Structure 1
Amino acid sequence: MQANGGKTVEQRSAMPAWARAVELFPPVDRVLSTILTRQAERYGDRVLLVAGETRWTYAQTAAIAAASAQTLIDAGIKPGDRVALMCSNRPEFLQVYLGCAWLGAIVVPINTALRGFQLSHIFRNSRPALLVVEAPFVAAIETVDADVELPSQTWMIGSATETKISSVPLPTLRSGAPAVAVRPGDTVAILYTSGTTGPAKGVCCPQAQLFWWGIYSARALGIREGDVLFTTLPLFHTNALNALYQAVLNGCTYVLEPKFSASGFWAAARAHNATVGYLLGAMASMLLAQPRTENDTAHHLRVALGGGVPPQIHRPFLERFGVPLVDGYGSTETNFVFAGSIPSDRPGTMGYLADGVEARIVDEHDSELPDGQAGELVLRAGQPFAFATGYFGMPEKTVDAWRNLWFHSGDRVVRDCDGHYRFIDRMKDSIRRRGENVSSWEVEQTIQSHPAVAACAIYPLPSELGEDEVAAAILLEPGQSLEPVDIVRHCEGQIAYFAIPRYVRIVSQMPLTENGKIKKGVLRDAGVTADTWDREAAGIRVRR
């Protein structure tokens, strides 16, 4: 008996779930409405989503997507319109996302920690037709600049007692709308990623890119049909969002926790019978720092993503918890383009290049460099719309990043002769703290708005947990004085809490280049000096 694609049913059933999905969904069908509809027919009453007390089957999820699309249509939302979404990990986030994808509208997920300057830029750049906001984050919306024009419509998830924003409750779902004829290259989401020398860029993610995130990630993690995918990562970032696609495409259950808890992670994993987990950066270190218990291996987790986990953590994590961590590399603009073996044969590296992706290491002229020599990593997708299509409303930034038809990652990387790729550092000044990218430019703009500050340089210093801590060197205006804690208080409410400096150093002069630019490398290499103030050592907590 022959199945589609020339393979017998028996041959197809023997394939990995991700490989079957590639055959079952040819290029024209790699849009969420088609994927959901077909998988609902295939899996019906199988549970797709678990979020708190909420359970959605595959069939219910498709119906919710259609009904959510109808509420958007009733509100006047059309294909291509942007819908700003500021919400924590809860079913309503996915309800709005699915409705937009079904309709052909574009979701603009907003990091719930953003405030003031950063939030204002997103509204100015994306110009959403509708804002959907969870009640606890209304106060954040109210911090946007006075000249920012908010959408004419706002839907509220939950209720806020005092707010200046006119809103109505998130509409109740009723009848469903037919799926709109969406194309694989149509943008489904604009995800903002922090820049280094300017404001955050809105990455235009097409429908097919999320399909390939689901395929490449499932392949790297060895996901099987029926797995329980367990994530505590925020939905406004790529990782948790594409894990939903991993589940849908591979017939899995997607378990969404509100947030990461080092003390509660394993208990939750056991309660859900989770088989695949997602850990980034310092999360694995935090789990290892918890007191040992007799239940450390009493779980069903078979594998976990370990992107950015320090290499020295891999073996202790495997020995204690019995879970191998998978090295990997991806970006919002690209995909899961590198992955290590399970367990990793060289912990802490990027792994091997994924099939279907091209990579080069190039010099400043885009000429390819030999193995063993560090240069910028550039990437190109072999599948249509497997990468992002550009930066929203920033054509110059798009052309620069995709020049010569290769995406320029901005990462300094080495390719070893055996095919392993190793991350060295960022080509430009960039900071990654606790899984979040911090734009030094945005923090500098905020601090320099203080009237006592003449100049500011933001740079990374190593964290005890891996990744970076944010450090600030500050030159004061003549005759002015400030305490380091004043800088922290000035930043609160204006930028995300995770971007507020831990280290503050008041300097009498900045190290400068011949043309007057601050030498951040000198500050970074000096590390924590005797005159560096440490917020954590001082016991100062950031107000969120």
Structure 2
Amino acid sequence: METSVKHFDGVESGVASQYTLPALLAARAARQGDSALFSDRQTRWTANDACAVAARRAGSLAAQGVTRGDRVALMCSNRAEFMEIVLGCAWLGAVVVPINTASRGLQLEHILKNSGARLLVAEPHLVSAVAALNAQALALEQIWLIGERLEEASDETPVPSQWRSMPMPPPGAALEAAALADSDPLAILYTSGTSGLSKGVICPHAQFYWWGRYTGNHLGLREGDVLYTCLPLFHTNALNSWYQALLHDAELVADRRFSASGFFDALVATRATVTYVLGAMVPILLGREVTAAEREHNVRIALAPGVPAQFQEAFTSRCGIALLDGYGSTETNFAIGGGIEHQRPGYMGRVVPGFEARVVNDVDQPVADGEPGELILRASEPFAFASGYFGMPEKTVEAWRNLWFHTGDRVVREADGYFRFVDRQKDAIRRRGENISSFEVEQVILAHPAVETAAVYAVRSSLAEDEVMAMIVLREDARLDPLELIRYCEPRLPYFAVPRYLELTRDLPKTENGKIQKYKLRERGITEQTWDLDASGYRLKRS
């Protein structure tokens, strides 16, 4: 479908397909140019404003040498500048690489190296984490600082001279939108590796269109809705909410972070009608004293993946907000779910029309209903799923083998078509809404001179999510205080990946060929010998 729409400043948008971000921006501006589209509670854009922002930010990127297909790394909290870079890259045909602001050390260096980004746009207080990396291993050439000077962000860590740093340039001359296809990549989102380094998921423009379309339909979005998220825009969940607002003639309000004490006040202040929570947020909110704001808001529904069944009814009864569960991943889409009328506590839902799902054994043969197996998925719409892992062809082939995407999640399909999540087949840990690679945590621990070997794995917490535990074997004659190891991990890992539980042992259970049997450690769980960070009184830094 070819479209050409004049919608602002006399700039003509010539876009090659209907599902690219420039095409969707142009369509929204043509429908409702003066309607509110985005706010970070300081800056607010109409649909016309968003088009102008995209075209002019594309101009400033191009003026600094960014061209179509280039990757632009983005390390930023929820603020208007985050979306400005996303829109500018999309308009120009560049690829944005949002990075978790808590990334540090090995993980951060791998992301920047793998993506090949030559430009990094970052908040100043995050620059020291980048400066600590091996500059020679990266393609990075420029750093744009959002709002402040480099000296204010250096944290006494000098930035390598080969990285030119400067304040983020002002918007440039408006450019015409690149002629893009639905299959062109919009973003590379790094999801935690489960047996190795993080993988960069190549997300095409059309994938985000279908995310927004399906999710908005399931939520029952209406024209004029106000969508409130305090989840980070560098993850699929919140970035998807932008598309929901764009497609359904609504407004997205993106707040900086989740605050249990201020969550309902924020819903009231922003006049939100729809919101987003993760599994652990609900029991945290229920654990607080009842406030008037819990009933003064106008929110009717929340997208709430992974909320334990026992909390769902209690939350809705107390707060008046219906909770919508479902299944999707960075590589896929909202493939299992449905509207609120189809919800069943403890279940993800049924397969959504437009997708196929199977539950299979380890050789991809379907298992009977009621039996657990790996969930595999595929889509009928072109480019509704990610197109692979950036720079990792062997991982792409492995995950998409036999023309199905292998999720690594263990589920059960009931006879009536409802799917129930069982556990993760992959060696990943889910904590505070973040995916953690046990491999990456192990690499940091193994670098400590006192450690001989280590195994990192998940144990369950009272919040119905994972906690990180490490079982450690020390080198001969070595001694190690648990808090010393925590302080060693802290600057080298995201705060949420630092283990809560540590235990020293003389040996780890292994197979005949020497592979650590983590399932035995998980079954063993926490014992009287386990050291607990929370009980120590030490508090991790979060920036």
Answer whether TM exceeds 0.5 for this pair: yes
Asked if 1:105 is matched to 2:94, the reply is yes
Asked if 1:126 is matched to 2:115, the reply is yes
Instruction: Return the letter of the residue paired with 1:227.
Output: D
Asked if 1:328 is matched to 2:318, the reply is no
User: Closer, same or farther in 2 for the Cα pair 1:428/1:174, shift >3 Å?
Assistant: closer
SS in 2 for 1:528: coil
- Decide whether the 8 Å contact of 1:185 with 1:206 is kept in 2: yes
Instruction: Give the whole-Å Cα distance in 1 for the aligned partners of 2:16 and 2:225.
Output: 25
Instruction: Give the whole-Å Cα distance in 2 for the aligned partners of 1:216 and 1:132.
Output: 31
Name the residue aligned to 1:161: 151
Report how far residue 241 of structure 1 moved.
0.5
- Decide whether the 8 Å contact of 2:389 with 2:395 is kept in 1: yes
- Decide whether the 8 Å contact of 1:143 with 1:494 is kept in 2: no
Name the residue aligned to 1:12: none
Instruction: Return the letter of the residue paired with 1:539.
Output: G
Within a 5 Å distance, the mapping from 1:76-475 to structure 2 comes to 76-159=65-148, 160-161=150-151, 163=154, 164-165=158-159, 166-342=164-340, 345-475=343-473
Q: Deviations over 1:146-169 (max 9, x none)?
A: 542252122110223253333111
Instruction: Give the whole-Å Cα distance in 1 for the aligned partners of 2:463 and 2:510.
Output: 31
SS in 2 for 1:296: helix
SS in 2 for 1:304: strand
- Decide whether the 8 Å contact of 1:46 with 1:57 is kept in 2: yes
- Decide whether the 8 Å contact of 1:303 with 1:324 is kept in 2: yes
Instruction: Give the whole-Å Cα distance in 2 for the aligned partners of 1:308 and 1:471.
Output: 21
Name the residue aligned to 1:71: 60
Q: Deviations over 1:222-265 (max 9, x none)?
A: 11121110000001100110100000000001101001111101
Report how far residue 343 of structure 1 moved.
5.7
User: Closer, same or farther in 2 for the Cα pair 1:334/1:105, shift >3 Å?
Assistant: same
Name the residue aligned to 2:11: none
* Alignment RMSD (CA, Å): 1.3
- Decide whether the 8 Å contact of 1:273 with 1:299 is kept in 2: yes
User: Closer, same or farther in 2 for the Cα pair 1:340/1:463, shift >3 Å?
Assistant: farther
Deviates more, 1:473-482 or 1:45-54: 45-54
- Decide whether the 8 Å contact of 1:375 with 1:414 is kept in 2: yes
Name the residue aligned to 1:533: 531
Report how far residue 488 of structure 1 moved.
0.7
Report how far residue 491 of structure 1 moved.
0.6
Identity rate of aligned residues, in percent?
Answer: 53
Name the residue aligned to 2:10: none
Instruction: Return the letter of the residue paired with 2:270.
Output: H
Aligned length: 519
- Decide whether the 8 Å contact of 2:75 with 2:122 is kept in 1: yes
* TM score, norm. by length of structure 2: 0.94
Runs of at least 4 residues off by over 4 Å: none
Q: Deviations over 1:63-96 (max 9, x none)?
A: 1101011111111111100000101100001001
Q: Deviations over 1:343-372 (max 9, x none)?
A: 664213211111100111111111112211
SS in 2 for 1:151: coil
Instruction: Give the whole-Å Cα distance in 2 for the aligned partners of 1:491 and 1:415.
Output: 40
Asked if 1:50 is matched to 2:48, the reply is no
Q: Deviations over 1:506-539 (max 9, x none)?
A: 1122112222111111111111101000000111
Report how far residue 293 of structure 1 moved.
2.1
Report how far residue 205 of structure 1 moved.
0.1
Instruction: Give the whole-Å Cα distance in 2 for the aligned partners of 1:373 and 1:509.
Output: 35
Asked if 1:36 is matched to 2:37, the reply is no
Instruction: Return the letter of the residue paired with 1:81.
Output: D
Report how far residue 543 of structure 1 moved.
2.6
Instruction: Give the whole-Å Cα distance in 1 for the aligned partners of 2:425 and 2:436.
Output: 15
Name the residue aligned to 1:5: none
Within a 5 Å distance, the mapping from 1:4-15 to structure 2 comes to none
Report how far residue 440 of structure 1 moved.
0.2
Q: Deviations over 1:271-301 (max 9, x none)?
A: 1110100001211111111111233211100
Instruction: Give the whole-Å Cα distance in 2 for the aligned partners of 1:27 and 1:324.
Output: 39
Instruction: Give the whole-Å Cα distance in 2 for the aligned partners of 1:403 and 1:294.
Output: 52
Instruction: Give the whole-Å Cα distance in 2 for the aligned partners of 1:520 and 1:152.
Output: 41
Instruction: Give the whole-Å Cα distance in 1 for the aligned partners of 2:468 and 2:44.
Output: 40
Instruction: Return the letter of the residue paired with 1:58.
Output: A
- Decide whether the 8 Å contact of 1:334 with 1:388 is kept in 2: yes
Deviates more, 1:201-210 or 1:221-230: 221-230
Q: Gaps spanning 5+ residues in structure 1: where?
A: 1-25
Instruction: Give the whole-Å Cα distance in 2 for the aligned partners of 1:292 and 1:528.
Output: 33
- Decide whether the 8 Å contact of 1:324 with 1:344 is kept in 2: no
Instruction: Give the whole-Å Cα distance in 2 for the aligned partners of 1:150 and 1:131.
Output: 10
- Decide whether the 8 Å contact of 2:16 with 2:181 is kept in 1: no
- Decide whether the 8 Å contact of 1:117 with 1:145 is kept in 2: no
Instruction: Return the letter of the residue paired with 1:308.
Output: G
- Decide whether the 8 Å contact of 2:224 with 2:250 is kept in 1: yes
Instruction: Return the letter of the residue paired with 1:59.
Output: N
Report how far residue 144 of structure 1 moved.
1.6
Instruction: Give the whole-Å Cα distance in 2 for the aligned partners of 1:293 and 1:210.
Output: 36
Instruction: Return the letter of the residue paired with 2:151.
Output: T
